Structure 1
Amino acid sequence: MKQYLIQYKPFLMFLAKFFLTYIVLTIIYQFYLNTFEGNKIDSITQLVAKNTEQLMHFFNADLVVVNDSESYIKLIYKQQYLARIIEGCNAISVIILFASFIVAFSGKVKQTLFFIITGSIVIYILNVIRIALLVVLMYNYPQEGELLHGTLFPLFIYGVVFILWVIWVNKFSLYAKKTIRT
């Protein structure tokens, strides 16, 4: 048994760091969400909705964000209620997953923190763009709503996360330093 623990130590350390980081960040996020009474919309989700509205207004798009519910925010595009933003739309769970992987393949502390912060900002911005595009596309192609929301846009956001992971592992992680050939 000891032989296997030694042999698979890098993999086991990866798993331990990944799951520990994921659990700790998820617990912190849950404590944050629990500060909002009942089903009230958290401030990160409200910020995502506001940033989506700002982005659409930058492009002179007719989007109105209506916050008249306790559990979601309505997106009204060209006087048509097309979508709603709920807590799951704010990309925090994706950012937690991203950060957990980066920590699991950590490099130097400063570099790791910088990449997590930068990657999180990229994910957040792309998520706002994703929501804005989703609203416009659902207006123009309402019959494709499930494909857009359920397949294409998750593929887009997770694809970006995967690309960020590949960049991290190949360029910045301690693993990258060990595998560089001279």
Structure 2
Amino acid sequence: MVDYFEFYGLPVSFNLDQAIVKRQFYKFSKQYHPDFYINESDVKQAEVLELSTLNNKAYQVLSDPQKRLHYILSLKGLLVEGENYMLPQNFLMEMMEVNEALMDLQFDPDPVRLAALKEEVALIEREIMDELSEITSAFDTQDLVTQQQSLVAVKDLYYRNKYLLRINESINKALAAV
């Protein structure tokens, strides 16, 4: 895996200065624009095209906080394809209650209860995002051991948020049906 942070000459951080990211993107966009290499060998053109593609992918990831979070966890070896991550039991119990309420609402639609459930999930989501923000804000100034602990906590919050995205999809489907 190519390290996008290294490619842009930036430290691994959840909180990048977006002006610097954009500046690097434009710099490399000019430097690796395929039109400037039209008279070069096929090998050189292919190399430049690859660097141009890398620049576009790096920008897409580093300029989007959610993609950057996922990328950092992957880069640090904490997200594994097909991983069966175990969410904390108390979170799963809370989500089981939400899922049961959703199932009840499928059989007995109630717009008021559905709106309340949506707000309850939004509150849980805000709490997760606040905790995530607190951890990622401190990340850059932490020593390596503390950063590793923070990454484990970020991974847990990442999976909780991912679970909530599925819950929100179900709520939105239910809202559309009401």
TM over 0.5: no
What TM-score results when the alignment is normalised by the length of structure 1? 0.29
The structure that is strand-richer by fraction is: 1
Question: Larger RCO: Structure 1 or Structure 2 (Cα < 8 Å, ≥ 6 residues apart)?
Answer: 2
Pick the structure with greater CA Rg: 2
What TM-score results when the alignment is normalised by the length of structure 2? 0.29
